[in-house]
């Protein structure tokens, strides 16, 4: 027995492995022709197969296999030439056949890894154990106040899933979070999953144990379920590590168990033992043939793979000559990077475009609470707008006004052709860059403000802004500020 | 038209398509027989009167149109009344599987085999009685009561496709379909004195067949002669993209290839003549072997020692798959629900306790056990390995022989109550049939002699995968010799 004074000295290190379920965004379900969609009327997207009616048989959707292959190849895993579907048997009302078709000892993918960063620390690697294909279950809609019955919606039933199982390589809740961010980014780049955790398109269970630093042997692990955001995963892990460490320091032992995270209470509570004591009685699914994948197919999927975030980031730095940090932000999502490149197809100042997207563009997404695919202004219009600024037709400040107008006009009408040129015209926002117009005004201001000129020349540099302001006032804000600056400097500093 | 009962399917199809007989009249006659003799035998669970008469009228219409100018489309089963085991989905009527739990279940879709048969001009007159969920070898486990053997009131018709077998044997229909998991058409065909084919696994689509042991199940035809059996199989079989295990290959024209003067090389596994074989059955089978030899075929004894393991492997695998296949009958979405107002666990337990009969429960328990963690390797896994070894043993035998021969069952039809309380004795009646289901190879049972008290016994031919053509040919030869 170790005394509590001694145990307090022990520093524990968490060991975390994640199991992530990603819904594949195929057109149809994994074993039948029903549409995969979210938010339709309950049980409207069903057929004898996904309802599990007697006599109905599954037929594998090749597209789902291909999506799984994309992910396996992208993480550097190996696509197994032969894999086997297996039945996972358990009773639940939203599982109409009484078993889930999954894969067990022979999954479609083995190995691979995901690289991730925590803050500014060097890149780390989390190895993957396996990736397998399976079907999703339906949804149980538990009674709300005033109702007595649970209802079952089987629209989701049969949606293709991949389960991505990591090795226990993650050493902190922050690492788990960073890993999930990268995993989601990859899934989105590959266009195999939307990655939307709130809608349940991505789900994550976590296995967590702690052990004294330096100890090889793993501690007893618990499984955390029911987290519905990446931050929720991080918080649940933080809670559970704390609980396990406190327990061990108090001389207790961690019991192997499944815990449900309660986001409202911010705590994880053990599931009833009955709910977790499953013997799934896996056996090979006799209704499906073994899945064989030819090397030609693997080659085809590999060559059709889109450019992945890491590669794209590097290309952005070399091709556009922008800062690495900007490239990271711009390649964060495939859509954002696409948008940037579409702007750059029609504009030539890469850094200006990068700056603009990181400020105005992301601000708009934030303000309107919309996703990238809902962004109202086309890349072509953005390129025109940035072009107007660069050529000096309008000022950066005017550009903000024009852009606000573009957004408000375009919000309700995606086919809008409210080009920046039209708006500039309508608002009369043309910038005056013609020196012959500005020079007399500059000279007039200098002549009219003798005392300030003397003071400025005597060392009061701050007065420069005063002169600029006066010129802008005189030109109703339309004078090109760069030209105004230069003309004033030439005259005042000489 | 009083000779319907003795007409073959081929004769009916010919008469109807040439306009000599009306499909509606034939159908009425078959329905009337089903109501009278079928009732006595308890062969049917549901008669499909309305749909059958509509189908028949449609066929008569098409035939008439053909005679008025346009050539009639080829319907190999033109106007032939056909009965279907009640575990094959057919819209408009219940598919009960002989079970209380599905007593009121109506499928919203047609099995592929139903579409194929209707396309071929068949008239579906009814759904036949069967052992509950096809588990049983005597038809005594049906929720709707046992089927009687037309050979004798006190004899079981065999199972699980007892209703289909009895309906064909009694002359109610010339063709019926049952399903096999482990001898469920060959054994009743043998007991009732008719023919049946268990096709190669994948020969007929399983889409719409309520699953028992998915890797073993195969929809299978009954008939009174080899020609009708070939007609029935030809109409029902074909590749189906809805069944991933369906065989995708061009089927030969079994009917036109039926007659052959080929001299076959036939193997006689000595394990088919093991302890437990009724001497009278053995005598009939040995006599048949001699006749085949005299007809110029080479018949040689060989040993396939693994046949002795087939019953153990079969029951392990069949029960394992059944335990999973029958999980969907839980009272949630369709079928019987008991205690709907209690907890979920109670609703499950009560629905299944009340809905399933004893034999089904026994198989679910056996199957759950052999798949359980800690037992999987010793039972299910081992059985799968044995199955693979048996398959290889048979494949090797077929490198030397065209066909294998033996008795279909160790005894002729037994009496009601004789084995129902002794599951092991009942299971052992499948001893010669189970290997074909394990290997996926086709096998055909054909009548061969009788016991001294006039109970028919059956001769079984087994062929290599896709060997139906040779099976029909040898059946035709045996018809000539017997």
pLDDT band at B48 (very low <50, low <70, confident <90, very high): very high
Q: How far is B9 from chain A (nearest CA, A)?
A: 28
Q: Which residue has the tokens 């028919």?
A: B456
Name residue, tokens 């039933």: A157
**Sheet containing B218-223: order of strands:** B44-47, B123-128, B81-85, B175-180, B218-223, B195-198, B443-450, B456-462, B403-407, B265-269, B298-302
| Omega before residue B83 within 30° of 0, cis | no
Pick the closest to residue B134 from B192, B178, B200, B190 (CA basis): B178
Nearest by Cα to A478 from A441, A428, A443, A405: A428
Confidence band for A6, pLDDT divided at 50, 70 and 90: low
User: Is residue B2's pLDDT more than 80?
Assistant: no
For A373-386, b where at least 16 C-beta lie within 10 A, e where not — what string? eebbbbbebbbbbb
- pLDDT for B150-165, tens place per residue? 999 999 999 999 999 9
Whether the predicted pLDDT of A2 surpasses 50: no
The closest CB to that of B243, out of A57, A93, A97, belongs to A57
Q: A93 to chain B: which residues are within 8 Å by CB?
A: 330, 332, 344
pLDDT of A176 above 60: yes
Instruction: Identify residues of A whose CB sits under 8 angstroms from chain B CBs.
Output: 48, 51-60, 87, 89, 91, 93, 96-99, 152, 279, 281-283, 286-289
Alpha carbon distance B126, B118 (integer Å): 13
Confidence of residue A3 (pLDDT cuts 50, 70, 90): very low
Region A146-153: mean pLDDT is 84
Q: For residues A134 and A440, which has the higher predicted lDDT (pLDDT)?
A: A134
pLDDT of A275 over the 60 cut: no
- Mean pLDDT for B239-258 is 97
Over range B407-420, report the average pLDDT.
Answer: 94
Facing A99 at nearest CB: one of B209, B324, B376: B324
Among B95, B97, B368, the residue with its CB nearest the CB of A281 is B368
What does the pLDDT read at residue B433? 96
> What is the overall mean pLDDT for chain B?
96
Q: Are B351 and B414 in contact (CB under 8 A)?
A: no
**Does A415 have pLDDT greater than 60?**
no
- Region of B207 please: left (phi>0), alpha (psi -120 to 50) or beta: beta
Predicted pLDDT at A274:
57
Min mean pLDDT across A143-147, A203-207, B12-16, B43-47 is at A143-147
B16: enclosing H helix or E strand: helix B9-17
pLDDT at A276: 55
Domain ranges of chain A: 4-297, 307-427, 435-492
pLDDT of res. A225? 94
Question: Is residue A79's pLDDT more than 80?
Answer: yes
Q: Where are the domains of chain B?
A: 1-482
Residue B151: phi and psi, rounded to 5, are: -65, -35
Please give the CATH topology (third level) of the domain spanning A435-492. Answer: Arc Repressor Mutant, subunit A (1.10.10)
B104: helix, strand or coil: coil
Query: Residue A428 — very low, low, confident or very high, per pLDDT cuts 50/70/90?
Result: confident
- Calculate mean pLDDT across residues A236-253: 95
Which of residues A259 and B421 earns the better pLDDT score?
A259
Among B95, B321, B373, select the one facing A279 at the smallest CB separation: B373
Beta bridge partners of A19: A165, A205
Look at A412-421, B258-267, B462-471 and tell me which has the smallest mean pLDDT: A412-421
| Residues of chain B with C-beta less than 8 angstroms from the C-beta of A56 | 109, 207-208
Q: How far apart are the first and last CA of chain B?
A: 29
Q: What is the pLDDT of residues A105-122, one digit of tens each?
A: 999 999 999 999 998 889
pLDDT exceeds 90 at position B84: yes
Please give the mean pLDDT across all residues of chain A. Answer: 91
**Banded pLDDT at A413 (limits 50, 70, 90):** low
Mean pLDDT score, B189-218 = 98
* Interface with A, mutate which of B330, B348, B380 (most A CBs under 10 A): B330
Residue of chain A whose Cα is closest to the Cα of B241: A59
Catalytic residues of B: 85, 160, 184
A376 falls in which pLDDT band (50, 70, 90)?
confident
Interface test with B, best of A57, A95, A280 (most B CBs within 10 A): A57
Q: Kindly write down the DSSP assignment for every residue of B360-412, as one continuous string.
A: HHHHHHHHHHHHSTTTTIIIIIHHHHHHHHHHHHHHHHHHH-SEEEEESSSSS
Average pLDDT, integer, range A393-402: 85
Cβ B344–A93 below 8 Å, yes or no? Answer: yes
pLDDT at A1: 43
Contact assignment for A91 to B327 by CB distance below 8 Å: yes
Using CA atoms, how far apart are residues B328 and A260, in angstroms rounded to an integer? 27
Residue B259 pLDDT greater than 50, yes or no:
yes
Average of pLDDT values for B451-478? 98
Task: List phi, psi (to 5°) of A78.
Answer: -110, 135
Q: Is the pLDDT of residue B185 over 70?
A: yes
Q: Measured between alpha carbons, how far is residue B344 from residues A154, B225, B331, B397 in Å?
A: 18, 52, 10, 52
Task: Tell if the CB–CB gap between A54 and B108 is shorter than 8 Å.
Answer: no
pLDDT in tens, B91-119: 999 999 999 999 999 999 999 999 999 99
Q: Does domain B1-482 have CATH number 3.30.565.10?
A: no
Q: Give the mean model confidence (pLDDT) for residues B418-436.
A: 89
DSSP A272-298: PHHHH------EE-TTS--EE--HHHH
Residue A152: list chain B partners with CB under 8 A: 332-333
pLDDT at A8 over 70: no
Chain B partners within 8 Å of A88 (Cβ): none
pLDDT > 70 in chain A, percent: 96
Q: Measuring CA to CA, which residue among B91, B80, B96 is closest to residue B129? A: B96
Contact B348 A96 (CB under 8 A): no
């Amino acid at each position: 027995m170790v005394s509590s004074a001694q145990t307090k000295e022990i520093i524990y290190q968490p060991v975390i492995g994640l199991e992530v379920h990603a819904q594949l965004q195929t057109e149809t379900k994994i074993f039948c022709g029903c549409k995969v969609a979210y938010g339709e009327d309950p049980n409207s997207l069903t057929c004898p197969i996904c309802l599990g009616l007697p006599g109905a048989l599954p037929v594998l959707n090749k597209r789902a296999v291909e999506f799984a292959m994309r992910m396996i190849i992208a993480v550097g895993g190996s696509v197994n030439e032969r894999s086997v579907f297996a039945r996972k048997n358990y009773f639940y009302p939203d599982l109409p056949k009484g078993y889930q078709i999954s894969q067990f000892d022979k999954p479609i993918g083995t190995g691979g890894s995901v690289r991730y960063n925590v803050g500014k620390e060097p890149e780390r690697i989390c190895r993957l154990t396996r990736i397998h294909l399976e079907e999703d279950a339906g949804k149980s809609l538990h009674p709300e106040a005033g109702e007595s019955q649970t209802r079952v919606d089987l629209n989701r039933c049969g949606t293709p899933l991949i389960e991505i199982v990591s090795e226990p390589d993650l050493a902190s809740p922050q690492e788990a979070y960073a890993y999930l961010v990268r995993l989601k980014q990859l899934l989105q780049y590959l266009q195999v999953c939307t990655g939307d955790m709130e809608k349940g398109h991505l789900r994550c269970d976590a296995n967590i144990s702690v052990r004294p630093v330096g100890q090889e042997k793993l501690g007893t692990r618990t499984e955390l379920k029911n987290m519905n955001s990446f931050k929720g995963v991080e918080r649940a892990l933080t809670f559970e590590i704390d609980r396990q460490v406190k327990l061990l320091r108090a001389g207790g032992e961690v019991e192997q168990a499944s815990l449900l995270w309660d986001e409202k209470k911010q705590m994880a509570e053990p599931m009833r033992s009955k709910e977790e004591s499953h013997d799934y009685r896996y056996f090979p699914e006799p209704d499906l043939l073994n899945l064989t994948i030819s090397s030609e197919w693997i080659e085809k999927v590999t060559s059709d793979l889109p450019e992945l975030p890491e590669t794209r980031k590097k290309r952005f730095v070399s091709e556009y000559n922008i800062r690495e940090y900007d490239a990271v932000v711009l390649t964060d999502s495939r859509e954002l990077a696409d948008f940037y490149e579409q702007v750059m197809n029609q504009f030539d100042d890469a850094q200006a475009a990068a700056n603009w997207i990181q400020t105005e563009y992301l601000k708009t997404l934030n303000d309107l609470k919309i996703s990238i695919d809902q962004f109202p202004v086309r890349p072509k219009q953005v390129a025109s707008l940035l072009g107007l600024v660069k050529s000096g037709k309008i000022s950066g400040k005017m550009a903000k006004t024009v852009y606000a107008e573009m957004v408000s006009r375009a919000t309700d009408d995606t086919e809008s052709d409210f080009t920046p040129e039209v708006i500039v015209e309508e608002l009369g926002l043309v910038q005056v860059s013609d020196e012959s117009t500005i020079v007399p005004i500059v000279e007039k201001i200098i002549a009219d403000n003798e005392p300030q000129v003397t003071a400025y020349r005597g060392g009061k540099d701050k007065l420069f802004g005063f002169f600029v302001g006066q010129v802008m006032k005189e030109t109703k804000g339309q004078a090109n500020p760069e030209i105004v600056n230069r003309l004033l400097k030439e005259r005042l500093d000489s | 038209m009083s000779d319907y009962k003795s007409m073959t399917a081929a004769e009916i199809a010919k008469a109807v398509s040439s306009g000599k007989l009306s499909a509606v009249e034939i159908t009425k006659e078959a329905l009337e027989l089903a109501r009278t003799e079928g009732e006595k035998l308890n062969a049917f669970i549901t008669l499909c009167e309305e749909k059958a008469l509509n189908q028949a009228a449609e066929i008569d219409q098409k035939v008439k149109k053909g005679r008025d100018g346009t050539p009639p489309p080829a319907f190999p089963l033109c106007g032939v009344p056909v009965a279907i085991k009640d575990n094959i989905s057919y819209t408009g009527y219940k598919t009960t599987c002989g079970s209380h739990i599905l007593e009121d279940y109506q499928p919203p879709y047609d099995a592929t085999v139903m579409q194929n048969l209707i396309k071929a001009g068949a008239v579906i007159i009814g759904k036949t009685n069967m052992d509950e969920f096809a588990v049983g070898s005597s038809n005594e486990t049906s929720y709707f009561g046992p089927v009687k053997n037309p050979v004798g009131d006190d004899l079981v018709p065999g199972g699980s496709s007892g209703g289909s077998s009895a309906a064909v044997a009694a002359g109610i229909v010339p063709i019926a379909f049952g399903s096999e998991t482990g001898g469920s058409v060959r054994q009743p065909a043998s007991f009732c004195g008719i023919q049946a084919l268990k096709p190669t696994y994948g020969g007929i689509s399983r889409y719409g067949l309520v699953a028992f042991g998915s890797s073993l199940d195969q929809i299978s035809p009954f008939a009174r002669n080899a020609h009708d059996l070939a007609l029935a199989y030809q109409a029902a079989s074909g590749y189906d993209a809805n069944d991933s295990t369906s065989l995708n290959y061009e089927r030969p024209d079994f009917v036109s290839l039926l007659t052959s003067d080929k001299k076959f090389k036939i193997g006689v596994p000595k394990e088919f003549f093991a302890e437990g074989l009724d001497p009278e059955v053995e005598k009939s089978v040995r006599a048949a072997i001699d006749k085949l030899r005299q007809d110029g075929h080479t018949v040689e004894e060989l040993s396939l020692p693994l046949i002795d393991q087939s019953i153990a492997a079969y029951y392990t695998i069949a029960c394992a798959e059944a335990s999973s296949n029958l999980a969907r009958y839980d009272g949630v979405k369709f079928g019987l629900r008991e205690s709907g107002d209690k907890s979920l666990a109670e609703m499950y337990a009560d629905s299944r306790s009340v809905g399933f009969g004893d034999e089904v429960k026994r198989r679910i328990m056996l199957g759950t056990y052999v798949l359980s963690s800690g037992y999987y390797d010793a039972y299910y896994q081992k059985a799968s390995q044995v199955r693979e070894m048996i398959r290889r043993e048979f494949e090797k035998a077929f490198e030397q022989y065209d066909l294998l021969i033996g008795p279909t069952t160790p005894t002729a039809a037994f009496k009601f109550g004789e084995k129902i309380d002794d599951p092991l004795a009942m299971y052992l009646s499948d001893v010669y049939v189970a290997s074909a289901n394990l290997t996926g190879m086709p096998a055909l049972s054909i009548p061969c002699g009788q016991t001294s008290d006039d109970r028919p016994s059956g001769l079984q031919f087994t062929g290599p995968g896709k060997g139906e053509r040779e099976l029909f040919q040898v059946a035709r030869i045996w018809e000539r010799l017997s």
